[in-house]
Amino acid sequence: MSLEVTGIDDLRRKLDAVATAVRRAARREVRAAALRIQAGARRRLHEGGTTDTGRLANSIATEEEASGLDYRVGTNLNYATAIEYGLPPGTRPDPEALQGWVRRKLGVRDPREARSVAYAIAHKIERSGTDAQPYLHPAAEQERPEFLRRLNEAVNKALTEAARS
C-alpha cells in the first residue's frame, strides 16, 4: 500500500509567506512603539522642567537589534540614571560638573560664586540625595497597552491578507 500526498510544496510556500508577513507587521509595530517611547521620554523631560541644555532629551535614541523584533530605547549619558532614579544619600556628584548648571539655571555669573554654589549643592545632594524624575520607564509603560493592541491588530491583518493569497 502506498499513499501520495500532494501540495506539500505549495503549503510550505504559503506558510513561509504567512510567517514573512507576520514578521514584517511585527517589526513595523515594534519600531513604531520604540519611536513613540523615545518621543514620550523626551516630552516628559521637557514638560517636567528637567531639561537644562536639552542634551539628555536629545541623546535618547532607538537602536534596532539584529532580529528586528527588539529595539533599545535609551541614552549613553552617565547622568541619565541619576535623573530617572534619583541619587541616594551618600552619593556626591562632581561639583565641577554642576557649575554650568548653576550658571544657567540659577543665573550665577561670577565663576568663583558659581563654584562655591556648586560645592554647596554637591554637599546637599550628598547629605539628602535627589528625587527621581522618571522619564523613560513611564514613557514605556504608557506605550505598552497601545503597543499590544496595535501589534495584535497588525498581526491579525497580516494573517487575514496572507490567507487570501
Domain count across the chain = 2
- How do beta strands 61-64 and 71-74 pair? antiparallel
Q: Are residues 139 and 126 in the same domain?
A: no
Give dist(CA 33, CA 148) in Å, integer: 10
What is the per-residue pLDDT for 31? 95
Q: Are residues 48 and 124 in the same domain?
A: no
What is the per-residue pLDDT for 165? 72
What is the per-residue pLDDT for 4? 77
What is the per-residue pLDDT for 1? 82
**pLDDT tens for each residue of the chain, 165 residues long:** 887 777 788 888 888 888 899 999 999 999 999 999 999 999 999 998 778 889 999 999 999 998 878 999 999 998 999 999 999 999 999 999 899 999 998 999 999 999 999 999 999 999 999 999 999 999 999 999 999 999 999 999 998 888 777
Q: Are residues 96 and 160 in the same domain?
A: no
HSE (side-chain half, CA atoms, 13 Å) at 110: 4
Q: Are residues 45 and 102 in the same domain?
A: no
Name the DSSP letter for residue 80.
H
Q: Are residues 66 and 145 in the same domain?
A: yes
145 residue type, one letter: P
Q: Are residues 31 and 112 in the same domain?
A: no
Q: Are residues 10 and 70 in the same domain?
A: yes
What is the per-residue pLDDT for 72? 95
38 residue type, one letter: Q
Prediction pTM value? 0.85
Q: Are residues 65 and 113 in the same domain?
A: no
Name the DSSP letter for residue 52.
S
Q: Are residues 43 and 8 in the same domain?
A: yes
Give residue 34's domain range: 1-79+135-165
Q: Are residues 126 and 140 in the same domain?
A: no
Q: Are residues 142 and 120 in the same domain?
A: no
Counting every residue written for the chain, the total comes to: 165
Q: Are residues 61 and 106 in the same domain?
A: no
